[in-house]
Every structure is written in C-alpha cells, then in structure tokens.
A and B are shown apart, each in its own frame.
Chain A
Amino acid sequence: MIPLYKLAHARAGDKGEHTTISIFAYDDQDYPILVEQLTTQAVSTFFADLHVQDVERYTLPNLSCVHFVLYGTRPGGVSSALTFDAHGKSLSWRMLDFELKN
C-alpha cells in the first residue's frame, strides 16, 4: 500500500454546495495508476462520512490529472455551513491519505 501523497499533489475548491478535488501525479508515469485506482466508487467510499450525493470524475491526460466533483458536501453552500472548514479546503489533503495498492 502506498499513500496517495507519495505519488500526487492535490487541491480542493468549493462551488456552491459541491467540492472539487483535483489530483495531479508528480510523475507522468504514475498517471495510469491514479486513473485505475481512483474510481468514483473508491472516492465515494473514502468520503463516506460526508454522505455525498454523487461523485463525478474527469480525466485530463495532458496534465496527468484526475479531477473529481463531490456533489452535496455542504447543503446550503459555504456561507451557511456549520463545519469549521466551511469551504472544504481540507478535503483534498484528507484524500492524500488514500491508500493505493502496489
């Protein structure tokens, strides 16, 4: 098992009630591993505690990037969110703990 942070960097953004998480392989050669293992199901399971409605994935081979939209992470949007991390910026850093199979 390799934690994702050994192979990739990531950034989260907020868009209304949803969270975007972009994962970038440090080495282009590792991009296929991300594509294979970071499925929408895997991400949905990883963030089970958030009860997201849906997870969408986009792949950008030119940038060795797998990009996720997590729908419904903060009902009502940022300004009325009750969590300490209202914007959800820490979610991409949580995701970097994702365990990749060798």
Chain B
Amino acid sequence: MKSIRIGTGAGFAGDRIDNAVNLALHGDIDYLILEGLAERTTIQAHLERLSDPQKGYGQFLEERMKTLLPICKEKNITIITNLGAANPNQAAKITEEIAETLNLQISISIVTQPLLRNVVQNYNPTLWETNEPLSMSRNEFISADAYLGAEEMLPALHNRPDVVITGRVADPSLFLAPMIHEFNWKLDDWDLLGKGTVIGHLLECGAQVTGGYFADGVTKQVNQLATVGMPIAEISSNGEATISKTPNSGGEVSIRTCKEQLLYEVMDPATYLTPDVCADFSQVTFTEVAKDIIKVDGATGRKRPDDFKLTIGIDQGFIGEAMINYVGYAAFERAKLAKSIVVERLLAHGLETNAIHTELLGAYQTTHPSEVLLRVAVKSPNYDTVGLVGYEVEALWLNGPGGPGGVRKSIRPVLSAYSATIPRSLITNLREDDEHDTTL
C-alpha cells in the first residue's frame, strides 16, 4: 500500500529553523510543512502590502528558504508553506531569487485568494465576537481572508513542485492536501478526510506533539528539549497513520503527548470544522508501536461546512503597557501601593476605570510573595493615551514606593482578528486576477 511521510518544519512564525533543517536532513520525508501565520500576522501582512506592493509575505520567509531549499532539493522534499501571507506572488518571487543565488532550479506554485475586503464589506457578515454586522464596527476594517482548504490547494500540487506557497489556508489543510494529491482521495470521502485532518491537527503545532508545551520538570519529564524533534507522520492510502519525530532528537512522541495535542484548541471533539470536512476526533485512540512511534486510529468525519470561515482584520489602535518589580521586605504591599498610585494618576488623566488593566505577577494565590511584578496595560485608538501608562509607571521610580526594580514600557499596535462565515460561492466565483480592492 502506498504511503507518504510528512513533517512539520515550523509550527509558528518564530519556530526554530535548525529544527526544520534537522528534520529535512534526517527525517526521510516527502513533504515539509512550514506553518507561519497567526491571526495578527496575516493582518499585519495586509497592512504592509497596502503600503508597499512588494511586501506582505510572512516573517522569516527568506531565512527559511535560504537554509532549506538546498537540502529539500537534494532530498526531493516538497515544501508547503503559508508564508505567502497576504502576498504569495511576492513570496514566490523572493523564493525564486534565493534559489537562483544558490544555483538551484526549482519549481514553485502558489495558492492565492483575491483581496476580499470589498467583497466582505458588501456581504457585511455578522462577526462572531460581537454578534453585530461588520458595518457596525467603529474601528477601521483592514482586511479579510477566507480560510481556504485542501481543495483550493490541489491545483498547486499538480506535478508535485518543489515549493508550494499559500496565503491563508486552514492549518490542517496544509497537511491534508498532499495526502489527497498522492492518494487520489475523493473530496467527499468524509471518513478519509477526517483521518487525514486528525494527522494535520496533530502535526500543525510542530513540537507540541513531540514533547514541547508539555514538560513540568517534575512528573512530566522530557529529555533534551533544547534539541526537541519535529513531528513526522507516515500516512497510508487507507488513512492509517503513525506519528514519530526527527531521528536522534530530544523530546518524546507518546500516548500522553498525542492526547494533549489532539484536543488542543478543539471545542466539540466530535465536530472539528475545517474547510475540508467536519472531522470527528471523539473516538480517536493512540497505540504505542515502538518508542516514539504512535499509531493513530478512530478519526472520521462528516460533510464539510457550506461556508468558508473568514478572518477579518480590524485596527483597534494601540496597547500601552509597563512593568515594574519589587523584591524583599513588603514587596507585595509596595506593589499594591504603586498600583493605586498609577491608577489614581491615570484616572486623573481622564481614563475610565475599566480601561485600566492591572496585574500583580508573582502574587497568584499567595499573600506574601517575596517578589512582585506590577503590570499595567491600556488599550485605546489614541497613541498618546496609551503612552501615559509607560509615563506613569516609570515616574514611580522617583515618586512611588521605595526600592523599585527594573521598569520596562512599550506601545504596540493592536490588529484584532474577528471571525465570520461567507458562502463558498462568493469566494470561488471571483476570478483569480480580480483585484477587488484599492487602497484604504
């Protein structure tokens, strides 16, 4: 029976590049998936593209391609990545240029979606988080992306290129698409698609299934986390699969690590919605085949959703935050005193009580912490308003309680992602070269 091996080279934008290199060198894989888009990063990418048409691709694309292209070309590994972000065309161009400088002949295909801002604005969906139509949002609507699925990726996998670059695609679909391509699975074989989707879900967060995001240093000991391996799935054409990791790496693949990742970010385990299928994880079981090799059974699926899920980017202004610490005698009391001073000062500046967020880090469930970090944060569309947080916390040095430690302050833009749905037909009927957007 035919089988393929898929490995995760990145579970998020900032993931360790050397982990991906080791996996590509030693993992004996056919496909290497680089997942690098969080909600905020997609919106950020759209903003960059709006101000510069040559920008808007994902973070660390160049670094990853420079290190991985030579290895993957030599080992006949296809790289699939969503680091196209808001500009897969430009990401492909950059990748091609890098290949040229490395004297590599590579084939690249892309999966794009039209800029959806105007289409979504006209459709005016109800946002899940506010339960109100998009038009009622008081803040600036920046971008919209549909979570495309494996079906939309299949044309790009034709003839199995060296690199497939996508924009926003559902994470498990990045893994399912090569399975469908290799095994010719039908797009309505919900059972097989559910089996492929559980594998994608187990792998999409990288080391979270191989011993990362797991150890507690006491009961749950994991060896050599500094060199934790990345996951490899070996899938057969009938949907049977095992999970293992980079050979000779740290970490573990065990029933317990698989259990934790199976339910990560899952709401109803019997109803895990992706663009490809309504997957059912409720009957999944794990069996240890050998050390660090786990067999996955029991996933299935039902008919996929009729709509695409949308991620909608809205500009909410800025968050200003600052932290200051107190150590030793009366640390808790001094931190509380500092907090009351900052709150009084911010209220005098005109901020509302419920706009000021404070935390005493280090004081969780203890009344006598010997070190406390006071943290204050405010969100506002107004840059100067949020800047008051750093201003008032820093002023505690001379004006507040005795013996403050370090102070750190920062301001960052807030790009919020909201969710909605849109009928598939409204997206798929748009022509690929339709640019439905102009500048904001």
Interface membership of B4, Cβ < 8 A: no
Instruction: Specify the chain A residue showing the minimal Cβ separation from B418.
Output: A77
Instruction: Specify the chain B residue showing the minimal Cβ separation from A9.
Output: B220
* In the complex, chain A residues 75-102 whose Cβ is within 8 Å of any chain B Cβ: 75-80, 82-84, 89, 94, 97
Q: Are A63 and B359 in contact (CB under 8 A)?
A: no
Residue tally, chain A, CB below 8 Å to B: 33
Instruction: Specify the chain A residue showing the minimal Cβ separation from B261.
Output: A11
Q: Which of A16, A24, A82, A94 contacts B260 (CB 8 A)?
A: A24
Q: Which of A11, A13, A26, A82 contacts B357 (CB 8 A)?
A: A82
Q: Are A11 and B263 in contact (CB under 8 A)?
A: yes
Interface membership of A47, Cβ < 8 A: no
Q: Are B266 and A13 in contact (CB under 8 A)?
A: yes
Q: Are B419 and A63 in contact (CB under 8 A)?
A: no
Interface membership of B30, Cβ < 8 A: no
Interface membership of A73, Cβ < 8 A: no
Q: Are A22 and B129 in contact (CB under 8 A)?
A: no
Complex Cα–Cα for A76 and B282 (A): 29
Interface membership of B26, Cβ < 8 A: no
Taking CB atoms, residues of chain A closer than 8 Å to B418 are 77
Residue tally, chain B, CB below 8 Å to A: 45
Instruction: Specify the chain A residue showing the minimal Cβ separation from B208.
Output: A11
Instruction: Specify the chain A residue showing the minimal Cβ separation from B377.
Output: A82
Q: Are A24 and B259 in contact (CB under 8 A)?
A: yes
* In the complex, chain B residues 278-296 whose Cβ is within 8 Å of any chain A Cβ: 282-286
* In the complex, chain A residues 41-73 whose Cβ is within 8 Å of any chain B Cβ: 56, 58, 60, 62-63, 65, 67, 69
Complex Cα–Cα for A58 and B281 (A): 12
Interface string of B396-419 (1 = CB under 8 A from A): 000000000000000000111111
* In the complex, chain B residues 27-60 whose Cβ is within 8 Å of any chain A Cβ: 39-40
What is the minimal beta-carbon distance from A84 to any residue of chain B, in angstroms? Answer: 6
Given contacts A11-B213, A60-B282, A65-B259, contact A79 B268 (CB under 8 A): no
Taking CB atoms, residues of chain B closer than 8 Å to A13 are 263-266
What is the minimal beta-carbon distance from B428 to any residue of chain A, in angstroms? Answer: 25
A interface SS class? mixed
Q: Are A63 and B414 in contact (CB under 8 A)?
A: no
Taking CB atoms, residues of chain A closer than 8 Å to B268 are 56, 58, 69
Complex Cα–Cα for A79 and B377 (A): 14
8 closest A-B pairs by beta carbon, nearest first, are: A13-B265, A82-B357, A22-B263, A11-B260, A80-B416, A13-B264, A82-B377, A79-B40
The chain A residues found within 8 Å of chain B, CB to CB, are 5, 9, 11, 13-18, 20, 22, 24, 26, 56, 58, 60, 62-63, 65, 67, 69, 75-80, 82-84, 89, 94, 97
Q: List 24 A-B contacts (CB under 8 A).
A: A11-B214, A11-B261, A15-B266, A22-B259, A58-B270, A58-B282, A60-B263, A60-B282, A62-B284, A62-B298, A63-B259, A63-B284, A65-B259, A76-B129, A77-B129, A77-B416, A77-B418, A78-B40, A79-B40, A79-B414, A80-B416, A82-B378, A83-B377, A89-B213
- Known contacts A11-B260, A20-B266, A94-B364, then 16 further A-B pairs from the complex at CB < 8 Å, ordered by chain A residue: A9-B219, A13-B264, A13-B265, A15-B266, A17-B129, A18-B267, A24-B259, A60-B263, A62-B284, A63-B259, A65-B263, A76-B129, A78-B39, A79-B40, A80-B319, A84-B359
